Amino acid sequence: MWRVKKIMDRDCLTLRVSGNLQTKNLVEIQNALADEGMSADVVLDLSEVTLISREAVRYLARFEVNRIDLRKCPAYIRDWIAQERQQIDACRGGKNAGQEE
């Protein structure tokens, strides 16, 4: 089981995710972000995630590139995200696609 809870605090939207985060759940996160129009700062709180799919990890790896802050991220997920980024960078010739300088 999984769920996402929206918490709005001033100009910051926090999406608190809990449970098993699978590929099929990513659409609901995308919809929650689209509902807010990205006018606020966005934080994804992963403190209550217990299990996560590889595709969900890849999706989260793109979040921080898009100025969405991952917080309270379990160490194993943070490490996995870092590994996925390294693999993506290696496939792209070491360039961080999507990041502006």
Digitized pLDDT (tens) for each residue of the chain, 101 residues in all: 889 998 988 888 899 999 999 999 989 888 887 876 666 688 999 999 999 999 999 988 887 667 788 999 999 999 999 998 888 778 877 555 444 44
Between CA 85 and CA 22, with CA 3 as vertex, the angle to 5 degrees is 40
Residue 95 CB-half CA count within 13 A: 7
**What residues contact 72, with CB distance under 8 A and at least 6 apart?**
45, 46, 47
Any domain includes 96? no
Tell whether pTM > 0.85: no
Domain count, the chain: 1
Residue with tokens 């309270």: 72
Q: What is the CATH number of the domain that holds 48?
A: 3.30.750.24
50 falls within a domain: yes
Which domain, by its residues, includes 48? 2-91
